[in-house]
Structure 1
Amino acid sequence: MLALQLNSENLPYPDPIHPIIVHFVIAMVLFSFFCDVVGYFAHNVRLLEVGFWNMFVAAIAIFVAIIFGQLEAGLANIYPAVQPTLNFHTVMGWSLGAMVAAITAWRFVIRDRLLRSKRDRNPLKLSPAYLGVATFLVCLVLLQVYLGSKLFWVYGLHVEPVVEAMRQGISP
């Protein structure tokens, strides 16, 4: 049987991959929201197109982030104080994945209507309902950022000194 060689951060690869992908997703969702809001008020179809493509890429990348998050959470040294925050972060991650996918699908329908109306010289814009749901999504993303930051900066998941202390039997 092959045993995984874990490094000083308790990972089989040099650095945690989950935060790298997650920061990409966060940027894409926030930039999509920014483009949609500015495009809505400026009646700029090009910005709405940029907003759509950012959300589309974020919808794909969020599931890659979730997969690496699950893998890295499974390799982390979990102690009792971490468990509630990690559980909430995990549930929120899967929920955000579903929400981003659903909002992207909704945005695809809106984009299709925008493209058709553009051909008819009757430009349509985003609905206020979509912008309201996107605002709620941004708030949930910011909550998820807080939870992830807490797991790293407060609880020290995959932080070398914490991993080393736990290997020596010292519990945080």
Structure 2
Amino acid sequence: MLALPLNSENLPYPDPIHPIIVHFVIAMVFFSFFCDVVGYFTHNLRLFEVSFWNMFVASGAIFLAVIFGQFEAGLAQVSKAAEPTLNFHTVMGWSLSVIVVGITAWRYVIRDRLRRGQRDRHSSKIPPAYLGVATFLICLVCLQVYLGSKLFWVYGFHVKPVVEAMKQGVL
């Protein structure tokens, strides 16, 4: 088996990729929610379209984020103290990927109805139930951000001094 050499951050490439993709997904989910809320109150159908496409792209990108997160977590030297947080963060990541895809599918149905309603002039709003579920999604994303931040800032995942201390047995 051919193994790639790991750098001082315990990665085979210069910087962690997971946080880059994750921040992209977080921004898209939050912006989608923002567009839906503003569109709900202003009846601006263009904001609903922006919201849908943000969720659509986030649905694909979240899987890349989870896959790189799994790969990079596998390369991290995990202390016993960090294991519960990492395990919960992992379960939440996979769960969020399924939830985001499910909400995007629901959003697609709403988008289709809004487009038909635009022709019929019957409906120009997102259902309040969708906004409630989207609000719950935002809460889950905030929890996941907290867990990821804790892994980096408290437990030092892929932080050079922490990686070196773990290799030397200091931590």
Query: What TM-score do the two structures reach when normalised by structure 2?
Result: 0.98
Instruction: Give the corresponding residue for 1:45.
Output: 45
Instruction: Give the corresponding residue for 2:127.
Output: 127
Shift of 1:121: 2.5
Counterpart check, 1:33 vs 2:33: yes
Q: Is the 8 A contact 1:113 1:124 kept in 2?
A: no
Structure 1 residue runs of 4 or more that deviate by more than 2 Å after TM superposition: 121-124
Which amino acid counterpart does residue 23 of structure 1 have in structure 2? H
Query: What TM-score do the two structures reach when normalised by structure 1?
Result: 0.98
Shift of 1:4: 1.7
Q: Is the 8 A contact 1:18 1:68 kept in 2?
A: yes
Q: Is the 8 A contact 1:114 1:123 kept in 2?
A: yes
Instruction: Give the corresponding residue for 1:82.
Output: 82
Shift of 1:123: 3.2
Q: Distance in 1 between matches of 2:161 and 2:131?
A: 43
CA-based RMSD: 0.7
Instruction: Give the corresponding residue for 2:97.
Output: 97
Which amino acid counterpart does residue 39 of structure 1 have in structure 2? G
Instruction: Give the corresponding residue for 2:149.
Output: 149
Percent identical: 78
Q: Distance in 1 between matches of 2:2 and 2:91?
A: 31
In the TM superposition, 1:102-117 aligns within 5 A as 102-117=102-117
Q: Deviations over 1:68-127 (max 9, x none)?
A: 000000000011000000000000000100100000000000000011111123333110
Q: Distance in 2 between matches of 1:167 and 1:4?
A: 17
Shift of 1:2: 1.6
Instruction: Give the corresponding residue for 1:17.
Output: 17
Which amino acid counterpart does residue 141 of structure 2 have in structure 1? V
Instruction: Give the corresponding residue for 1:71.
Output: 71
Q: Distance in 2 between matches of 1:41 and 1:160?
A: 48
